[in-house]
Amino acid sequence: MAKKPSESFKSIQILSAKAHSLWALAKQRMQSAKDGKSSKPQEFPAKGKPEDTIFLDVKISTAAKTTLTIVGVLTLVWVLFLIRDKLLILVLASFLAVVMDPNVRRLERFGIPRGIAVILLYLIFLSVFIFLVASLIPIVASQLQDLARFINQRADLFLSSPHVDLSFLSASMNERLTELMQQILQDAGIKDRASALFQFGQNLSSVAQSSLGFAVQIAGSVVNFVVNLILILFLAFFIELEREKIGDFVRALLPRGFRSYYDTKSDAIYHKMAQWFQGQLIMCLAISILTFIALEILGMPYSVTLALFAGFTEFIPYAGPLLGAIPAVLIALTQFGMVWGLIVALIYYVIQLCENNILVPLVMKHAVGLSPIAIMFGMLVGVSFPGTIHPVLGIILAVPVTAIITIFIQDFYLMRKRK
């Protein structure tokens, strides 16, 4: 007994019949146009007949593949979320390798092997960092001693005769504050420095117990930071050493149609990062020189270290100049008085004005081409995930990451504009 033809075979037959009908109609019209005769076009079969219905076979394997693909993507996202800390280390190492690459290529032009060039850059950075830390530690220790001596003298004078005399307050307000301070000291049983130290010693044990856990936490964070920093340096070294092989591997994973796009955008990212890092170095050098000249003219001590610190803080957008001015202002206040502190603060403010109105338009706008709104938005995003990335690191990486994202946004905009 003959087998009943399958639905797929019937669909093929219907398509073949329709194709044959269309071909016959086309031949008839061509012949009619050639002979100058008109002919009535053939009618297509009426719609809705069972023999004209085309069945679409949805295989179980296709649905299974789609389901497995969705499950695989969700699993990959979940795994990446679990290892986000390690993934961040890899991203930072890749970023460091990209930033170092232009300088490594310059050293390679002088015949220096790539591995040795990376080590030389590490040594230069480490030397500057060690010099800065070694110079700042004695300054901080000296300033803390001066501050302790100042507090000791003021405390003796105040405890012997509690009196408040603030020039920006009225006489009646100063008298009220004096009475309030005398009442507070009397209630606390503090009459002189000895009684104050005794009262402080009674509270010291509870403070020490609460501070012990905090100190252990700080020590653990420092150790973790050092370990991660060493790991980032090692990974960046090998990423820069095997840059071509890594690029070929990533290119091989992409479809052929995306390889040219990957080459173009990777070159654009390298170029943008190189411009950002070079512009940042120029800014740091310029701020260091201007700060050193200003502090030398004023006769401030530790001018070299303070100038290097001010230049180093330029890596932090917007907040960097404020952080760089704090040590110099504190030194001027403790050693020379309020007037000198205001003068030093004014000098740093003038330097920041020169930076914002001259250096930034000439250097950074040309380097990254970002508007202040984009930079501020990137900084806000950088500090919005404290559980994943440290806010300070997020602020530092805000400008380069925003510049990279801008490359793809501009590309998407141009593509939509062409369409």
Determine the pLDDT at residue 75.
Answer: 86
Predicted local distance difference test score (pLDDT) of residue 395: 72
Q: How far apart are CA 316 and CA 352, in angstroms?
A: 13
Q: Are 344 and 329 in contact (CB under 8 A)?
A: yes
Q: pTM above 0.85? A: no
Distance set, CA 355 to CA 179, 318, 361 (Å): 48, 11, 9
Distance CA 354, CA 358 (A): 5
Say if CB 393 and CB 317 are below 8 A apart: no
Question: 135-143, long-range: CB within 8 Å, 24+ apart, which pairs?
Answer: 135/302, 135/304, 135/305, 135/308, 136/305, 136/309, 136/327, 139/302, 139/305, 139/327, 139/331, 143/330, 143/331, 143/334
DSSP code of residue 302: T
Q: What is the pLDDT of residue 12?
A: 56
Query: Please, are residues 100 and 94 in contact by the beta-carbon 8 Å criterion?
Result: no
Q: How far is CA 348 from the centre of its chain?
A: 26
Rounded Cα distance between 398 and 319, Å, is 13
Residues 6+ away with beta carbon under 8 Å from 151? none
Asked if 275 contacts 399 with a C-beta cutoff of 8 angstroms, the reply is: no
**What is the chain's pLDDT, residue by residue, as a tens digit (419 residues)?**
444 455 554 555 565 666 667 667 766 766 665 565 444 444 444 444 444 444 444 555 667 777 888 888 888 888 877 777 777 788 888 888 887 887 888 888 888 888 898 899 888 888 877 887 787 777 767 766 766 666 666 666 655 566 565 555 667 776 777 777 666 666 655 554 444 444 544 454 555 455 556 566 666 777 887 888 888 888 888 888 888 888 888 888 888 877 888 888 888 887 777 777 778 888 888 899 999 999 999 888 878 888 888 888 887 777 778 888 888 888 888 777 778 888 999 999 998 888 877 777 677 666 677 766 777 777 777 767 656 666 767 777 777 778 888 888 887 888 777 76
Residues 6+ apart with CB under 8 A from 335: 146, 301
What single letter denotes the amino acid at residue 301? P
At a CB cut-off of 8 Å and minimum separation 6, what does 324 contact?
287, 291, 309, 310, 311, 312, 313, 314, 348
DSSP secondary structure string, 102-117? HHHHHHHHTT--HHHH
For 164-191, give the DSSP string. ---TTS-HHHHHHHHHHHHHHHHHHT--
In this prediction, residue 233 carries a pLDDT of 87
